[in-house]
Amino acid sequence: MMTDIKQSTLLGLALHELTSLVEESGQPQYRAQQLFEAIYRQRVESAEQISTLSQEFRLTLVQKGFSVGLPTVDGKFVSVDGTVRYLMAFADGQSVETVWMPEGDAGEAGDGSEAGNELEKQTSRNWDRATICVSSQVGCAVDCKFCLTGLLGVKRNLTAGEIVGQIVAVLNDQHVAPPRDRVNLVFMGMGEPFLNYDSFIKAVRLLVEGVGIPESRMTVSTAGIVPRIYDLGAEHVRPKLAISLNAPNDELRTRLMPINRKWSLEKLTAAARDFPLRNRERLTFEYVLLDEVNDSEENARELVELIRGVRAKVNLIALNPGPGIPFQTPAQDRVARFQDILIDSGVPTFGRRPRGRDIYAACGQLKRTLEMTA
């Protein structure tokens, strides 16, 4: 029934909703599949471009006020390392950021000495895989003390169509076609995906079934919204899970992430232990290292104890600094020492290389910065 479709954008509609739409319009049912293919697989930009549909039905769609609903690219900033930060604007004028990170031999420009060639390099195929970092909300309500997005507060949730739309717009801009091209997706942009759970999970399904990005190439990161961790575990189609831990005890974690008052480390690690991992899957714990705050050898040992028994790896992220963030980035040898303690205790631990810091595209730096650099 049309009545339960509140939006007039095609992006974000599931196959059953498209089926209602074509039936309402007196069209044969197979039109729904054609629409689905055109929106998500061919990634058309307007209803007029859907050449499989009859002229008459295309016109009906336009008359009913339906558009595809892609966000507009309001800004595009290219880093010396190949990372591209997009400013995506929606119909109501709100905007978020979406980050494209090519990886592989030619995708990385090294020390930036080849910066002048970056735009040219972006247009030819110079990567063997890429990761898109997608936003789930305009701003964020969680208020982590080290995060620029947190400083914004939350403006609103994104719809499923707006989440999928960011990815479709980037794929179109980069001329990329999954599943042929290897694209990973991380729900680690602006916002807390688990405070917009229904739209997030609907977007995941559309991305898997429509756009063709396998769920095994997707990761969602949460600050620790415990009930939603259980919900995710019960989904048939779901991304891998990353939990932003950032501190090894409640006292410190509550100071850095006030949400820890509501869901303590005990509840959070219980949810992590209960999370039904698939074959060979590992959970990820993210840990932002703040100089002299949570990066001591003692903290590393506490962390090992905290996560003992969870099949997990740890991603260490040295703080990406920003204006108004009252913490410092630890020196490289402190990061290395922390990492060594975890590895020596048998915890697989990786240091996440910051991407696109120069264009404010790195973790925790997303706040709709309009300038190229700070």
- Is residue 292 part of the annotated active site? The answer reads no
Give yes or no for residue 364 binding ligand SAH (CB under 6 A).
yes
The burial of 118, by beta-carbon neighbours within 10 Å (0-12 exposed, 13-18 middle, 19 or more buried), is given as: middle
Query: Does 218 participate in binding ligand SAH (rule CB under 6 A)?
Result: no
How many residues bind ligand SF4 (CB under 6 A)? The answer is: 12
Shortest distance in whole angstroms from residue 155 CB to ligand SF4:
13
Find the part of the chain contacting ligand SAH (CB under 6 A) among 104-112, 220-228, 271-279, 293-301: 220-228
Contacts (Cβ under 8 Å, ≥6 apart) of 373: 358, 359, 360
Smallest gap, in angstroms, from Cβ of residue 89 to ligand SAH? 20
Chain-centre distance for alpha carbon 32: 28
Q: How many residues comprise the chain?
A: 374
- CA 322 to CA 364: how far, in whole Å? 9
Among 12, 107, 150, 354, binds ligand SF4 (CB under 6 A): 150
Active-site annotation holds for 120: no
Using CB positions, name the residue nearest to ligand SAH.
Answer: 364
Strand stretches in the chain, DSSP E: 72-78, 84-89, 95-103, 129-133, 137-139, 154-157, 183-187, 218-222, 240-244, 283-289, 312-318, 349-351
By the 10 Å C-beta count (0-12 exposed, 13-18 middle, 19+ buried), 320 is classed as: buried
Secondary structure (DSSP) of 207-242: IIIII---GGGEEEEES--HHHHHHHHT-SS--EEE
Three-state DSSP class for residue 132: strand
259 binds ligand SAH per the rule CB under 6 A: no
> For 133, phi and psi rounded to 5 degrees?
-100, 120
Indicate whether 149 belongs to the interface with ligand SF4 (CB under 6 A).
yes
Quickly tell me which residue has 């990492």 as its tokens. Answer: 339
**Which of left, alpha, beta for 249 (phi over 0: left; psi -120 to 50: alpha)?**
beta
Measured distance CA(200)–CA(80) in Å, rounded: 31
* Sequence-distant (≥ 6) Cβ neighbours of residue 59 within 8 angstroms: none
Query: What is the footprint of ligand SF4 within residues 195-234 (CB under 6 A)?
Result: 223
Catalytic residue among 133, 140, 144, 363: 363
Return the residue of 95, 221, 349, 369 that touches ligand SAH, per CB under 6 A.
221
147 binds ligand SF4 (CB under 6 A): yes
Among 32, 140, 170, 318, binds ligand SF4 (CB under 6 A): 140
Rank residues 60 and 221 by Cβ distance to ligand SAH and give the closer one. 221
Q: x/- site string to ligand SAH, residues 274 to 313, per CB under 6 A?
A: ------------x-x-------------------------
Mark residues 239-258: x for contact with ligand SAH by CB under 6 A, - for none.
Answer: -----x-x------------
Residues marked active site are found at 97, 363
What residues line the site for ligand SF4 (CB under 6 A)?
Answer: 140, 142-144, 147, 149-150, 191-192, 223, 244, 364
Residue ranges binding ligand SAH (CB under 6 A): 146-147, 188, 192, 221-223, 244, 246, 286, 288, 317, 319-320, 325, 363-364
